Amino acid sequence: METIVSILGLGTTYALLAAGLVILYKASRVVNFAHGELAIVGGYVFYSTSLVWHGNALAGAIASTVISVVFGLVIYLSLMRRLVGEATYVAAMVTIGLSIILKALIVIVWRSQSLGLPLGRETIYTFQGGGRVAAIDAVTVGVGVVFFILLSIFFRYARLGRQFRGAAENALLASQRQVNVNLILGFAWALAVFSACLAGVLYGSRSMLAPQSTIIGINGLTAALVGGLDSVRGAALGGLLVAAAIFVTARTIDPALSDAVPFVILLIVMTLRPWGLFGTQEELDRV
């Protein structure tokens, strides 16, 4: 049972990362290769803002949420807005450059410190015969469930959510139909960076924050591709699938092989169903 709880906690973290990638892809057809770096920077920001308020986790959470949303808007306004209408690979290359800058920022600002966030590490339940459930596991799953429910409602029922796809397909035509493309893309970046920050905080509370922790971005991207880049529910399932494979490999075979498992899953799924488990084939044709 403890194994299942751990997989759910880690899988939800990867699913939140994948959700941010899905949000950006649905809005702009851009794959953000800096998502892992944004997540870890978000974890460090939460740590620093909590210290400012003498270890108050709630104040740190509010501050890091505001900072992540503002940072997402800054990224769009300063970098990505200029690339609207350009080939998507150009924007992808910009996100690669952004990932390098963010990793350097971690080294410069936080001196490459390895930090564990003191959030929810206490045990809230102990199984008979051994095993426990940490508070952070319950918090992670709860936050993930609420986030995905709200995200699904947004894309299905909100007018702005329905406009995401139109803006991504043809930004010029969408603007001619009175769709505020800049509002959609700015909101997408703000929401995506917020989800990355949320994942980084939850990951740092389960494990350690370090420059090497940005590898979780690869796991999040794998989860998004496996589930389907245009599917919210695919992001959730992909995150759980990747986490389960990593956890089982580390426990039963060799921890050194666990980093390679997501790529094995990705190769299998991309070979059999290139548009992902819940993605649409039309998206592949367009790519």
Query: What value does the mean pLDDT take over residues 102-129?
Result: 79
Mean predicted lDDT score pLDDT of the chain: 86
Lowest mean pLDDT among 30-34, 36-40, 140-144, 249-253: 249-253
> 55 versus 107: which is more confidently predicted?
107
281 domain residue, yes or no = no
The count of structural domains within the chain is 1
Which pLDDT does position 284 carry in this prediction? 46
Which pLDDT does position 278 carry in this prediction? 85
> 192 versus 115: which is more confidently predicted?
192
Which pLDDT does position 174 carry in this prediction? 72
Which pLDDT does position 129 carry in this prediction? 64
160 domain residue, yes or no = yes
Query: What value does the mean pLDDT take over residues 183-211?
Result: 92
Which pLDDT does position 127 carry in this prediction? 66
> What percent of the chain lies above the pLDDT cut of 70?
90
- Residue range 198-256, pLDDT digits in tens: 999 999 888 888 888 888 998 999 999 999 888 889 999 999 999 998 888 888 888 87
69 domain residue, yes or no = yes
Which residues span the domain enclosing 202? Answer: 2-211
Provide the pLDDT confidence category of residue 134 given band limits of 50, 70 and 90: confident
Decide if pLDDT at 110 tops 60: yes
269 domain residue, yes or no = no
Which pLDDT does position 1 carry in this prediction? 66
SS (H, E, C) the chain: CHHHHHHHHHHHHHHHHHHHHHHHHHHHCCCCCCHHHHHHHHHHHHHHHHHHCCCCHHHHHHHHHHHHHHHHHHHHHHHHHHHCCCCHHHHHHHHHHHHHHHHHHHHHHHCCCCECCCCCCCEEEECCCCCEEEHHHHHHHHHHHHHHHHHHHHHHHCHHHHHHHHHHHCHHHHHHCCCCHHHHHHHHHHHHHHHHHHHHHHHHHHCCECHHHHHHHHHHHHHHHHHCCCCHHHHHHHHHHHHHHHHHHHHHCCHHHCCCHHHHHHHHHHHHCCCCCCCCHHHHHHC
Whole-model pTM: value is 0.89
> 9 versus 86: which is more confidently predicted?
9
Which pLDDT does position 166 carry in this prediction? 72
Query: What value does the mean pLDDT take over residues 105-114?
Result: 88
154 domain residue, yes or no = yes
Which of 5-9, 95-99, 131-135, 242-246 reaches the highest mean pLDDT? 95-99
284 domain residue, yes or no = no
47 domain residue, yes or no = yes
> 174 versus 87: which is more confidently predicted?
87
Which pLDDT does position 147 carry in this prediction? 95
- Residue range 6-20, pLDDT digits in tens: 889 899 999 999 999
> 73 versus 171: which is more confidently predicted?
73
182 domain residue, yes or no = yes
Decide if pLDDT at 274 tops 80: yes
Provide the pLDDT confidence category of residue 97 given band limits of 50, 70 and 90: very high
